[in-house]
Structure formats: C-alpha cells, structure tokens
Amino acid sequence: QVQLVESGGGSVQAGGSLRLSCQASGFASTSYSMGWFRQAPGKEREGVACIDFDGRAGYADSVKGRFTISKDNAKNTLYLQMNSLKPEDTAMYYCAADPSARITIAAMDIYGMDYRGKGTLVTISS
C-alpha cells in the first residue's frame, strides 16, 4: 500500500526558507517518479517540481531558481527545499508519486500522479 506523509510546512516571512519532506512507503523511490503539487485557495492545482526515478528534476517556471527537489533513496524520502519564498507561494503542498519512470511538470498538470499525500500547509507573509 503506497503511503506518502508530508511534513515541514509552516509560516515564514517573505524571503525566508522552508524544507518540506515526504516519507514514502509501499514502494521504492528508485522505481517511481515523484513530485510536489500545490494548491492555493480558489486556484487550480499546480505542479511545482518533479523528479524521475533516476534523479532528473523539473520545475514550474514560477519556482525555478528558488526551489530544489531531491530524494534520499536510502530513506525513501522526497524533499523540497524552498528559498526566497514569496506570498504567492502560500498553498497546501502535496507530495505525489507515480509508477511512471519519467515525469514532467506538464504531464503532472495534465494527468496528475497516481498517489498523493494529505498535504502540508505553507503560509508566507509579506
């Protein structure tokens, strides 16, 4: 049974940093693509960052240069390092996984991913 549990959300001021973590179980991160979605109130779900089974990463234009996705295969854990945070980054952030070997941000937005966690809230104040 695939499970994804996010942690690390919180409230910070603009310009600050947060690191989100996602503990995965029920599958090996070396064989799945994984990623992060976010959804702000009243807005559509947005693919933020993704990483292939072999570590190739992709980012939404809105976060390029500020966010970094990574994973620790030994710990089966996915991370999202978020720097230079802006008020518009405020959203619920969801970890996601898919048995596809490859994933892109565009594919995330169009097709979603098969599994998703319950989310962690990120609030950025100006």
Identify the band that residue 79 occupies on the pLDDT scale cut at 50, 70 and 90.
very high
Spatial neighbors of 52 by CB under 8 A, at least 6 apart, are 33, 101, 102, 103
Q: Could you read off the pLDDT of 25-34 as tens digits, one per residue?
A: 998 888 899 9
78 pLDDT higher than 90: yes
The pLDDT-based confidence of 53 (bands split at 50, 70, 90) is: confident
Cα Rg, the chain, nearest whole Å: 13
Token pair 């989100």 is at which residue?
20
Rounded Cα gap, residues 27 and 25, in angstroms? 6
**Confidence at residue 30, expressed as pLDDT on a 0 to 100 scale:** 82
- pLDDT above 90 for 54: no
Token pair, residue 46, equals 């947005």
Q: How confident is the model at residue 100 (pLDDT cuts 50, 70, 90)?
A: confident
Q: Is the pLDDT of residue 111 over 90?
A: no
Taking Cα atoms as reference points, which of 3, 1, 7 lies closest to residue 96? 3
Q: What angle do CA 9, 17, 67 make, to 5 degrees?
A: 90
